[in-house]
Amino acid sequence: MNPANTHLNTRAAEHLTRRGVLAAAAAVGASSLAASLPGAAVARESLIVKGRIKQSVCGGVLRKAKMSLDEECGLLWKFGVVGKDLVGPSDWPALKRRGLVATMVPGAGSINDGLNNKAKHPQLLDEFRKNIKAASDAKWPNVICMAGSRKGISDEEGMDNCAAILKEAVKIAEDGNVTICMELLNSKVNHPGYMCDRSEWGFELCRRVGSPRFKMLYDIYHMQIMEGDLIATIRKNINMIGHFHTAGVPGRHELDENQEINYPAVMRAIAETGYKGYVAHEYTPTGDAVAALVQAIKACDV
């Protein structure tokens, strides 16, 4: 059965009921959160039991909770989350104070104006130099890049243009022990015209660049929308995947039983490949942000 087209199985759904999630969130409620502020001496109360998946979060996951950055870092540390994703240098000191990792940091290009635009290559290569050095100096593992929108550029020309600049950028990344990750996004719902919208296009670009320091950021939400077949695609191409993002389909919300991806099954498949990188949650919660994070952590702890 294709997990991309099923709900959570009965056992997982029973384990991850809203009642259970809210109870778990209450167990680490206001008093625990206050205790997790920087400088407080508290024991870690990790929600992660198996730990085969190293989990991270993007900024939108806890935005509704209206925490300060230090409060958020304290909560992530307490829950056993290893870091934050898509964070710039101004946030890095707060992560370091809690021993958290900036699991993905700025690289070069944007969704609309990316590496497929040859005229932008001098500027983008400067961005790569600056941001890869910053990541390397801070000991962060990954920088992000975007292919850009098509804007009349054919997919083949765009691939040639992306490969040309990436072959230069990976030399810098190899020296800095940093991996450049290009994000796969859907062009059907969220980002019309985005070029790197199919996994095979992205993996072919990896083959052409030919460096272990360039891989795909495989966004599970986006690729479910574009093509499904998640588990088979991940298993076949794991050596070209450097990072994952999660969110529920449709809507980009919680990873619960109200959406169609069987996240425990997908995470088991990822873990079974021996993948050692990070999986970052990038959903927008519809309800309580802390309860939603508890549920996402449990769903992905396989």
186 within domain boundaries? yes
Q: Please give the DSSP secondary-structure letter assigned to residue 274.
A: T
pLDDT tens-digit profile of 140-180? Answer: 999 999 999 999 999 999 999 999 999 999 999 999 999 99
Identify the pLDDT of residue 17: 39
Identify the pLDDT of residue 45: 82
Q: Which domain holds residue 159?
A: 3-33+53-300
List the structure tokens of 30: 């206001």
189 within domain boundaries? yes
The span from the CA of 246 to the CA of 252, in Å, is 9
Local confidence pLDDT in tens for the 302 residues of the chain: 333 333 333 333 333 334 444 444 444 443 344 344 444 444 678 999 999 999 999 999 999 999 999 999 999 999 999 999 999 999 999 999 999 999 999 999 999 999 999 999 999 999 999 999 999 999 999 999 999 999 999 999 999 999 999 999 999 999 999 999 999 999 999 999 999 999 999 999 999 999 999 999 999 999 999 999 999 999 999 999 999 999 999 999 999 999 999 999 999 999 999 999 999 999 999 999 999 999 999 999 99
150 within domain boundaries? yes
Number of domains in the chain: 1
Identify the pLDDT of residue 249: 98
213 within domain boundaries? yes
The span from the CA of 3 to the CA of 216, in Å, is 21
Q: What is the CATH number of the domain that holds 27?
A: 3.20.20.150
List the structure tokens of 267: 């995470």
239 within domain boundaries? yes
Helices (H), the chain: 10-15, 18-27, 30-35, 69-79, 92-97, 121-138, 155-176, 199-209, 220-226, 230-237, 263-272, 289-300
